[in-house]
Structure 1
Amino acid sequence: MKLLRPFSSLFALIVAGCVGNMNPTGGNSTPNYPYFITTEPLIVKKVPVPIGSKLVYEEQFFKEGKQDHKLKEEKLTTIEFPEGKELIWGGVPVKSIYKFFNSEMRGYTVTADFSKLNEDQKTKFSELWQSCNDGLGITIKNTDDWSFNKENIADVQSCSVIYQRYFKDDSRQQSFLNEMYAELQKINSK
């Protein structure tokens, strides 16, 4: 048995080396997704987007990196708002909105900048969201609308990795997300 120990360690190193290099983009690199920086105020996915916002799109043939015009909205994956021009979404200053990675799920994740939320703007909804201190996953009915349209919001899917609809048997997680959704519905749209 002692004789096999060095070989098992060598085998583990070889396997780890092979698995570590299985990334088709070459190690830790990421694809150079096409993006556009807005040069004028726009409405994108029914969201008012100010000048200087970054619109990121899915990988596309012959399109990489910075583009000189916006691309098709159905290919949009992310809206990043410029510093100081955050979108007010559900009463909360938002830094970015990005489409769920899982194409079978209809929705997006909203990331907030709670340092820009004034005390007098706080609501039960914003306090619940801030307690997660991370992205808020929202499922929607119409994928062409990323705005705070309560008629289009189907559910609060997640609040960071702490609360997830995926864990249906965890009553604590489900109760928290149900409360968030109920509080979201009380917010006046802006």
Structure 2
Amino acid sequence: MRRNLVLSAAFAIALSCASAAFAQQTVPAAGDSAVQQDPKAEQASHKMSEYLTQKFGVAREKAQTIASAVMTSASKYSLPPALLLAIISIESRFKETARGPNHATGLMQVVPSAHKSLVRNIDLTDPEDNIEAGSAILHGYMTSAQGDVDAALKSYGGSRAYAEKVSLRARTFEPAAAAEPASAAGK
């Protein structure tokens, strides 16, 4: 019983941190993003979208939208882009209309009932909105876990096995999420 109270309190703190962070920040309009103005981030976004198209068969335009949203949210919440991509690949396999248990919705499988104040007026099937919300939630968990990525992932996905799976998958996305190209020889 005490453990449940502690977990409930930790969840409430994480949710309030995520809600506050989300409420204070707005997603820049297309073309206004600082990510799009930074040549390295633009290059990383392009590289990431190409990777999603080639490796996962994501349509080019959709891959560009996802890559841009990942880079924006990663920058905004100080999260590794590879970590966000890993969560998306595990949670939805890059399908923005994915539905899961407890009405989990979208790319990062955000559960509306668990994050009511955070997702009140957004479309969770919109990739940018979903990645923003999922990143804010993960950031809240990271804050409450004092930067412990494994603890934050455990809170996000509900188990240690989930945290391990995401961490392993994130390693496969690291080359695609890097700001510098792996090799300029192929160009």
TM-score (norm: length of structure 2)? 0.28
Higher RCO, Cα 8 Å, sep 6+: 2
Q: Which has the higher strand share?
A: 1
Q: Which has the higher helix share?
A: 2
Structure whose alpha-carbon radius of gyration is higher: 1
TM-score (norm: length of structure 1)? 0.28
